[in-house]
Amino acid sequence: MADIICVIGNKGGTGKTTLSHMLCQGMGLVGKRSVCVLTDTYREPLDPQGRRYLTADARTRESLAKVVDKIRSLKAWLGIIDGGGNRSEMDRKLYGLADLVLLPFRDSHEDIRTVIRDLETFPRAYAVPMQWPSNAWQKEAAEKTVAEYLAPYRDRILEPVNTLSASKLLLQKQLPAALPTPLANACRGMAHQVLDLLQISIEEDFVDQEGASSHLAAPLAGNKIAPASITA
Ligand SMILES: Nc1ncnc2c1ncn2[C@@H]1O[C@H](COP(=O)(O)OP(=O)(O)O)[C@@H](O)[C@H]1O
Ligand SMILES: [Mg+2]
């Protein structure tokens, strides 16, 4: 059965949509098939063209149920559900159906306050530092803040995703032919962390062919369902 990963949190702008797409792209880069599920009524669906994953539109309650059922029926796939923010009821529902829950947060007091509340509300969830500074002294300051406020949750904080201006490429309707290497590496790194948590191994013989579109199409085309039928 497929695994469902939900990216939630009761605050907008923390990086939920970015993290969801990075994770899906990263899954594709390590040879795993995934679907990025949109639930945010304020966002437009993105074209799967050029991505290493499918996209699904689940902006209504009924379509979410259908999309989740469909994904569950796909052997060895991963469904990554991008939550909307400011929707506690929806977050609780997604938490209930997820195999793994991620809570992105940035290096700000407001984000940290919110993520603490979410970590308390969702005891199985992991927090993901997003838009993390790579500059040495800023990074040190961010780490200090985390050590101070998030000490009780230390084991539930994943490796950070650095600030990458290229990350917005993933949120464009259409992807460019090739992604910048630092972004591809960050996507892959995130996928590795999540696969570790889910105890899913990566086939050792999988050879990543960056930018090879025939390779990209193959795993998706080989599946029984067409992209359109995932879009309930
Ligand atoms: N790692 C990152 N590096 C740089 N910008 C980022 C990163 N993650 C998110 N952002 C930016 O932050 C903003 C909010 O991100 P988004 O993923 O839309 O958040 P949410 O879905 O939680 O509202 C966007 O402009 C996005 O491009
Ligand atoms: Mg979003």
Q: Model confidence over 161-184: pLDDT tens digits?
A: 999 999 999 999 888 888 999 999
pLDDT exceeds 90 at position 158? yes
Instruction: Please give the number of the atom of ligand 1 that sits closest to the Cα of 82.
Output: 21
Structure tokens at 170: 């993933």
Per the structure, how many domains does the chain have? 1
Which pLDDT belongs to residue 216? 38
Q: For ligand 1, pick from 6, 8, 17, 18 the residue to mutate: most ligand atoms within 8 Å of CB.
A: 18
Which pLDDT belongs to residue 214? 34
Does ligand 1 have an atom closer than 6 angstroms to the CB of 168?
A: yes
Q: What is the pLDDT of residues 64-75, one digit of tens each?
A: 999 999 999 999
Ligand 1, atom 7: closest residue by C-alpha: 131
Task: Record the pTM.
Answer: 0.90
pLDDT exceeds 50 at position 21? yes
Cα gap 24→193, rounded to integer Å: 13
Q: Which domain holds residue 81?
A: 3-230
The domain that holds 152 is classified in CATH as: 3.40.50.300
Cα gap 130→186, rounded to integer Å: 11
At residue 87 the predicted structure's pLDDT band, cuts being 50, 70 and 90, is confident
